[in-house]
Amino acid sequence: MRTASRMANLPPYLFAEIDRKRALKEAEGVDVISLGIGDPDLPTPQRIIDAMAHAITLPKNHQYPAYAGSGPYRAACAEWMRRRFGVDLDPATEVLALIGSKEGIAHLFPAFVDEGDYTLVPGVGYPVYTTGGVLVGGKTHYMPMNEGNDWLADFESTPADVLARAKMMFISYPNNPAAVSAPAEYFDRAIAFAREHDLLLVHDNAYSEIGFDGYLPPSIMERPGARDVAIELFSCSKAYNMTGWRIAFACGNAEAINALGTVKNNVDSGAFTAIQEAAMEAMLGPQEDVAEMRTIYQRRRDTVLAALDRIGLTARPSAGTIYVWARIPEGYTSVEYATAVLDKAGVIVPAGSAYGPDGEGYIRISLATPDDRLAEALERMAESL
C-alpha cells in the first residue's frame, strides 16, 4: 500500500518517541525515571471523581453527545471564564467543547489553512503547532524565541512574503517548554498584529492554573480587541490533573469557533457527556485542590533549581507550567545531552530541539514526578554527569 506523501514529512511524535526509548531501556533492566512527559502524577481530585461516578449512572449520558458540547457544559465554561478572568462570553456562539486541547489545535488547520499557507509558530512550542500544518500541506514559519527576547515569540520580524500567505499565529503563555509568562503589553501587540495582517490568533492557555510565587496567569480574552481576532484554548488536563479524561474547551471569536466546530462536526463526535459533567464540577466546584497542586509544583521547581548547579545546568526560575527549561553545558547538542542523561543516569529528559529550532541547547525537565523519584533522578544526574 502507499501512504500519503505528507507522512514522510512528519517527524516521530516526541512523546511517543520518549515512550519507545523508555521501553528499550527497561527491557535492558534499567530502572528508568522519566522527567519527560508532562503527565501529572497527582490524582484527579476526589470531588471530580465523585461527580463522574454519579454522571455515568444517568441513562441520558449514554447517548451520542452534542458535537459542540452540552448546553450546561458550555455555560459552565463561560461561567468559569467570568469567575477566573472577568470575561463574559456567549456560551452558544463563543464556547466550544473539545476532546482535549490537542484535538482542537489539530482541527484548526483544516478549518483555516489551505495548501501552501503559512502558520506562525513559536520557535519553541507544542509540536502539534507544526505537525498540524504538515497534515494539511501548510507551511510553518518559526517566530524567533530566546533568552534575549525573554522567550516572547517575535512575530514582528516575520518577513512580508510569509505574512502575505499566513493564516494563523500560535502563542502560548505560560509557555511550554520555556516556562515563562508574557506581559499584557505583549498580548496587546499580538492582537494588533493579528488584526493588521488578517490572522487568527490562537492562544494556547493549557497551563492557566499553574503559576508560581503568587502569579496567576491571565487570559488573552481580558485584553481589548481580543475577541475580534483571537480564540483561546483551555484544558482540564493540567489544571485539574485530568489528562486521561480528554476534556477542554475553546472560546473567543465566534466566527473562528464556528469554523472549528464545523470541522469537528464532520470528523469526530462530542466529548462523553458524563465527562463534561465531571469537568463542570472541576471548574465550578471548590478550588482549594488547585491551590494545593500549585504549592506542590512550586516546591518541586525549587528542588530542581537547587540541584542544577551540581549537574552543570542553568535555568531561570519558572513562572508557571510544570517544567524547568534548562540550558545544557557547552560541547553537546540537545539530543546528545538527552541521550547521555538516559545512558548514564537512566533518566529521560526531552531534547529542547524537539520543541522547535530555538530549543537547541536546552532540555525540558518535568515536575510531574513524585518528590522521591524526582530527587533520585537529580542525584543520579549529578553523580553521572
pLDDT of amino acid 23: 83
Same domain, 156 and 269: yes
Same domain, 109 and 16: no
The pLDDT of 265-278, averaged and rounded, is 95
Cα gap 301→211, rounded to integer Å: 11
Cα 132–241–306 angle (5° rounding)?
95
Q: What is the CATH number of the domain that holds 37?
A: 3.90.1150.10
Residue 15 pLDDT level (bands cut at 50, 70, 90): low
Same domain, 79 and 217: yes
Last residue of a domain, one of 284, 300, 323: 284
Beta bridge partners of 141: 120
Q: Convert the pLDDT of each residue in 314-324 to its tens digit.
A: 999 999 999 99
Same domain, 159 and 178: yes
Last residue of a domain, one of 284, 313, 339: 284
Same domain, 135 and 91: yes
Residue 26 pLDDT level (bands cut at 50, 70, 90): confident
Residue 20 pLDDT level (bands cut at 50, 70, 90): confident
pLDDT of amino acid 14: 64
Same domain, 219 and 188: yes
Q: Convert the pLDDT of each residue in 330-366 to its tens digit.
A: 999 999 999 999 999 999 999 999 999 999 999 999 9
Same domain, 14 and 67: no
Same domain, 65 and 189: yes
Beta bridge partners of 233: 204, 250
Full-model pTM:
0.95
Which residues span the domain enclosing 207? 46-284
Same domain, 238 and 270: yes
Last residue of a domain, one of 284, 301, 335: 284
Same domain, 252 and 364: no
Instruction: Give me the number of domains the chain comprises.
Output: 2
Q: What is the CATH number of the domain that holds 201?
A: 3.40.640.10
pLDDT of amino acid 5: 86
Same domain, 17 and 107: no
Same domain, 107 and 204: yes
Q: Convert the pLDDT of each residue in 219-248 to its tens digit.
A: 999 999 999 999 999 999 999 999 999 999
